[in-house]
Amino acid sequence: MNRRDLLKYAGAAGAVSMLSSPLTRLAAAPRAIGKPRRLLMVLAQGGWDTTYALDPKAQSAVCDIPAGAIRRFGNLDVFTDASRPNVTAFFTKYAANTAVVRGISVASVAHQECVKRMATGTRSEVNPDMGAIVAHDNGNDLPLPYLILGDTAFAGEYAVSAGRVGATNQIIALLDPAQAYPSNGRPQLATTNAEDALLARYANATANRLRATRGSKGYNRRRVEDFESSIKRGKQLQGVRDGFGARGRTLTIDSQVDLALDALGRDISQAVMLNTRLPWDTHDTNTDQAGFHETTFGGLTRLLDGLAARPGRDAGTTMLDDTVVVCFSEFSRTPKLNANLGKDHWPVTSAMVMGAGVRGGYGYGATTAGVEARTIDFATGAPSATGKTLMSNHFVGGVLQLCGVDAVSHLGATEVFDAFVA
Domain around 228: 186-244
Within this chain, do residues 227 and 330 fall inside the same structural domain, yes or no? no
Mean pLDDT for 247-256 is 84
Within this chain, do residues 272 and 376 fall inside the same structural domain, yes or no? yes
pLDDT score for 121? 98
Residue 231: pLDDT band (50, 70, 90) is confident
pLDDT, the chain, mean: 89
Percent of the chain exceeding pLDDT 90 equals 68
Q: Is the pLDDT of residue 329 over 50?
A: yes
pLDDT score for 106? 98
- Domain assignment of residue 292, yes or no: yes
Within this chain, do residues 101 and 191 fall inside the same structural domain, yes or no? no
Within this chain, do residues 240 and 255 fall inside the same structural domain, yes or no? no
Within this chain, do residues 78 and 225 fall inside the same structural domain, yes or no? no
Q: Is the pLDDT of residue 26 over 90?
A: no
Within this chain, do residues 276 and 134 fall inside the same structural domain, yes or no? yes
Q: How many CA atoms lie within 13 A of 358 on its CB side?
A: 29
Q: Which of 194, 209, 244 is the last residue of a domain?
A: 244
- Domain assignment of residue 80, yes or no: yes
Residue 380: pLDDT band (50, 70, 90) is very high
Q: Is the pLDDT of residue 168 over 90?
A: no
pLDDT score for 228? 80
* Tally of domains in the chain: 2
Q: Is the pLDDT of residue 19 over 70?
A: no
pLDDT score for 391? 98
Within this chain, do residues 139 and 196 fall inside the same structural domain, yes or no? no
> Which one has a higher pLDDT value, 181 or 357?
357
Within this chain, do residues 288 and 216 fall inside the same structural domain, yes or no? no
DSSP state string for 319-360: GGGTEEEEEE-S-EE-SS--TTS---EESEEEEEEEETTB--
Q: Which of 244, 272, 291 is the last residue of a domain?
A: 244
For 393, other C-beta atoms within 10 Å of its C-beta total 26
Lowest mean pLDDT among 34-43, 173-182, 223-232, 317-326: 173-182
Please report the sign of the dihedral spanned by the C-alpha atoms of residue 203, residue 207, residue 208, residue 214: positive
**Chain segment 56-99, per-residue pLDDT in tens:** 999 999 999 999 999 999 999 999 999 999 999 999 999 999 99
Lowest mean pLDDT among 31-35, 43-47, 318-322, 397-401: 31-35
pLDDT score for 3? 41
Residues 6 or more apart whose Cβ sits within 8 Å of residue 11: none
pLDDT score for 188? 64
Residue 317: pLDDT band (50, 70, 90) is very high
- Domain assignment of residue 370, yes or no: yes
Within this chain, do residues 260 and 377 fall inside the same structural domain, yes or no? yes
Within this chain, do residues 221 and 366 fall inside the same structural domain, yes or no? no
CA distance 415 to 396: 10
Within this chain, do residues 405 and 317 fall inside the same structural domain, yes or no? yes
Beta pairing partners, 376: 383, 388
Q: Which of 219, 244, 269 is the last residue of a domain?
A: 244
Percent of the chain exceeding pLDDT 70 equals 90
Residue 246: pLDDT band (50, 70, 90) is confident
Residue 24: pLDDT band (50, 70, 90) is very low
